[in-house]
């Protein structure tokens, strides 16, 4: 197991280098002058433009810019944004908000998927199962911004059950409604995976053997059926977490969440190479860490799995 963990950690290095290089290249290749865009409709002097390009290393070739950026990462320096604020401070301010929102959404999504998927699999073909599949298809078909606007208007403004927008500091109670929106939009896929896995596990020989040995249904379902049915659901949850880290931009915009999505979107529009690549670098590290934890959970959920 230790060798496997070390091997997976070593795999992070080429993935990280490749990701940062590709992102930096794509941002570098974007048309337009990011320094001139800082002034909007104003036309600065050539001397000012040249000084700013030199300050942000934009006057240097692409590979020199990239190497300088990597050099800064290894010493904990993520560079400066065009607003003059260190990118590390922006990361420290926005990433905890998005991670908190993503974790809340995953808990909601995973809880709904496991409970509803289990009961749906145990009642295959019955009324509960059919209604659940229809509801899941509806949530998979509706765009997330539609769900967000309906939840904001209905649950936030009309009923007043939740705060319709996120206030300063992004307290947990304000993040609850956007987390519900994200969780509900993601739960359908995990629920269908859980349902299918439960149905398949119920037909396995070890389940029949457990019943033949006289074990009760209350023992067989949670220990033998549910435990072995969670592997595809856990795998999909790791993917969902990565989607939430980079794909919650729309939801963050609707609910005014001061997280990664808003900052990253604005940085892309302004062509802020350093800010974009720094955010993506941290996202890649988080995503790789989550996938490593998920891989290690396989051995816990299924004792047949062994890593050598």
Output DSSP code: residue 80. Answer: B
When comparing pLDDT for 50 and 176, which is higher? 176
Average of per-residue pLDDT values in the chain: 79
Among 237, 236, 235, 212, smallest CA distance to 224 is for 212
pLDDT at 301: 59
Contact 278, 24 (CB under 8 A): no
pLDDT at 36: 62
Q: Which residues of 83-108 are buried (b: 16+ CB within 10 A; e: fewer)?
A: eeeebeebbeebbebbbbbbebbbeb
Q: What is the average per-residue pLDDT within 80-105?
A: 82
> Alpha-carbon distance 236 to 223, whole Å?
21
The winner for highest mean pLDDT among 8-12, 58-62, 229-233 is: 229-233
> With 70 as the cut, is the pLDDT of residue 102 above it?
yes
pLDDT at 35: 66
When comparing pLDDT for 83 and 95, which is higher? 95
Q: Which of 123-127, 203-207, 264-268 has the lowest mean pLDDT?
A: 264-268
């Amino acid at each position: 197991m230790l060798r496997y963990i070390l091997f997976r950690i070593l795999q992070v290095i080429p993935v990280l280098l490749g990701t940062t290089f590709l992102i930096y290249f794509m941002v570098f290749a974007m048309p337009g002058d990011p320094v001139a865009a800082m002034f909007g409709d104003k036309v600065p002097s050539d001397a000012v433009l040249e000084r700013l390009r030199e300050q942000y290393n934009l006057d240097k070739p692409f590979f020199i810019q990239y190497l300088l950026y990597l050099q800064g990462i290894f010493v904990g320096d993520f560079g400066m944004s065009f607003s003059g604020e260190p990118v590390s401070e922006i990361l420290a301010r926005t990433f905890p908000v998005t991670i908190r929102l993503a974790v809340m959404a995953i808990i909601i999504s995973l809880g709904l998927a496991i409970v509803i998927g289990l009961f749906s699999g145990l009642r295959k073909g019955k009324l509960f199962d059919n209604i659940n599949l229809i509801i899941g298809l509806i949530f998979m078909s509706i765009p997330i911004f539609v769900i967000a606007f309906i939840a904001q208007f209905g649950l936030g403004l009309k009923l007043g059950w939740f705060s319709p927008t996120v206030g300063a500091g992004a307290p947990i109670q304000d993040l609850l409604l956007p987390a519900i929106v994200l969780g509900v939009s993601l739960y359908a896929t995990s629920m269908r995976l859980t349902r299918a896995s439960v149905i398949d596990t119920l037909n396995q020989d070890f389940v029949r053997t457990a019943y033949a040995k006289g074990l009760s249904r209350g023992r067989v379902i949670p220990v033998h059926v549910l435990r072995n049915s969670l592997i595809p659901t856990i795998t999909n949850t790791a993917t969902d977490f990565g989607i939430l880290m980079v794909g919650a931009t729309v939801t963050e915009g609707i609910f005014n969440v001061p997280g990664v999505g808003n900052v990253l979107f604005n940085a892309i529009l302004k062509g802020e190479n350093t800010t974009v690549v720094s955010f993506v670098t941290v996202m890649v590290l988080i995503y790789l860490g989550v996938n490593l934890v998920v891989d290690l959970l396989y051995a816990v959920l299924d004792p047949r799995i062994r890593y050598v």
